């Protein structure tokens, strides 16, 4: 897959707007950037091409000495979130320069990566869409169970990757092929059609599809 330019942003929430033809379009509003380039990774020195972007500015006292030293090289203040955007070709951007929402245009397709909302420990019905067992016909205490998890003496074990109850959500999720409905550089906003992972105010990474 092509490694493409991207930006970091904050998911503000969802609303809906009227499209050009008057139809209602559900959109997610993302406040993205401007993200300064903190460091540049090069094939010669690091073995790969990438830009390290900073997002969410914080006062200097909130950082420890090693990160302060690292971030001061770009000379653009201190940032809470640092993420690398992998690239195919070397970028012409140098540390200290900004990446803004201008890299996107209306009609572009993007992929958005974020951390999904944590659901805690969940049973198989919610986590894996199992049907559960009978509500009646003598079923007792097992209405939301998954049923049998294996076979008999042969193979005598539970197969690996068996879908069971456990922790759900709060993991890295990428949604691809999202359309950009609007770009507003004055407020650093991107309006993306449809849903993106994560709760409101969570940090997301938006990358071009191609």
Partner 1 sequence: MDLIRKIELEQMRLDVPKFKAGDTVKVFLRILEGEKERIQVFQGAVLRLRKGGANSTFTVRKVSDGVGVERIFPIHSPFIERVEVVSEGKVRRSRLYYLRKLKGKASRIKIKNQWDN
Should residue 75 be labelled a site residue for partner 1 when binding is judged by CB under 8 A?
A: no
Query: Whose Cβ is closer to partner 1: residue 12's or residue 139's?
Result: 12
C-beta of residue 21 within 8 angstroms of C-beta of residue 168: no
Should residue 195 be labelled a site residue for partner 1 when binding is judged by CB under 8 A?
A: no
The conformation of residue 198, written as its DSSP 8-state character, comes to S
Q: How far apart are CA 207 and CA 210, in angstroms?
A: 9
**Binding-residue pattern over the window 21 to 40 for partner 1, x denoting contact by CB under 8 A:** -x-x----x-x---------
Should residue 89 be labelled a site residue for partner 1 when binding is judged by CB under 8 A?
A: no
C-beta of residue 130 within 8 angstroms of C-beta of residue 149: no
Per 3-state DSSP, the chain is made up of helix, strand and coil in percentages (nearest 5) of 10, 40, 45
Smallest gap from Cβ 58 to partner 1, in A, equals: 21
Region of 12-20, 34-42, 67-75, 138-146 interacting with partner 1 (CB under 8 A): 12-20
Region of 14-22, 85-93, 148-156, 171-179 interacting with partner 1 (CB under 8 A): 14-22
- Polymer length in residues for the chain: 210
Should residue 121 be labelled a site residue for partner 1 when binding is judged by CB under 8 A?
A: no
The conformation of residue 117, written as its DSSP 8-state character, comes to P
C-beta of residue 173 within 8 angstroms of C-beta of residue 195: no
Position among 1, 2, 18, 154 found at the interface with partner 1 (CB under 8 A): 18
Should residue 12 be labelled a site residue for partner 1 when binding is judged by CB under 8 A?
A: yes
Query: Whose Cβ is closer to partner 1: residue 15's or residue 177's?
Result: 15
Query: Whose Cβ is closer to partner 1: residue 12's or residue 105's?
Result: 12
Return all residues near 46 (Cβ < 8 A) that are at least 6 apart. Answer: none
Q: How far apart are CA 95 and CA 76, in angstroms?
A: 9
Which residues contribute to the site for partner 1 (CB under 8 A)?
Answer: 12-13, 15-18, 22, 24, 29, 31, 187, 189, 191
């Amino acid at each position: 897959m092509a490694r493409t330019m991207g930006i970091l942003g904050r998911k503000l929430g969802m609303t809906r707007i009227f499209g050009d033809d008057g139809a209602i379009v559900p959109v997610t509003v993302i406040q993205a950037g401007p993200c300064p380039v903190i460091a540049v990774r090069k094939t010669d020195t690091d073995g790969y091409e990438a830009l390290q972007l900073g997002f969410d500015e914080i006062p200097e006292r909130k950082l420890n000495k090693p990160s302060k030293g690292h971030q001061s090289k770009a000379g653009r203040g201190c940032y809470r979130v640092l993420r690398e955007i992998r690239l195919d070709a070397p970028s012409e951007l140098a540390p200290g320069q900004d990446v803004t929402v201008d890299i996107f245009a209306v009609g572009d397709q993007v992929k958005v990566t974020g951390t999904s909302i944590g659901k805690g420990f969940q049973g198989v019905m919610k986590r894996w869409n199992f049907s559960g067992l009978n509500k009646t016909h003598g079923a007792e205490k097992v209405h939301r169970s998954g049923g049998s998890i294996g076979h008999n003496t042969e193979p005598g074990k539970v197969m690996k990757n068996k879908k069971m109850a456990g922790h759900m959500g709060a993991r890295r999720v990428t949604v691809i092929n999202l359309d950009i409905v609007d770009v507003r550089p004055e407020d650093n906003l991107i309006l993306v059609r449809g849903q993106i992972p994560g709760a409101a105010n969570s940090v997301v990474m938006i990358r071009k599809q191609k």
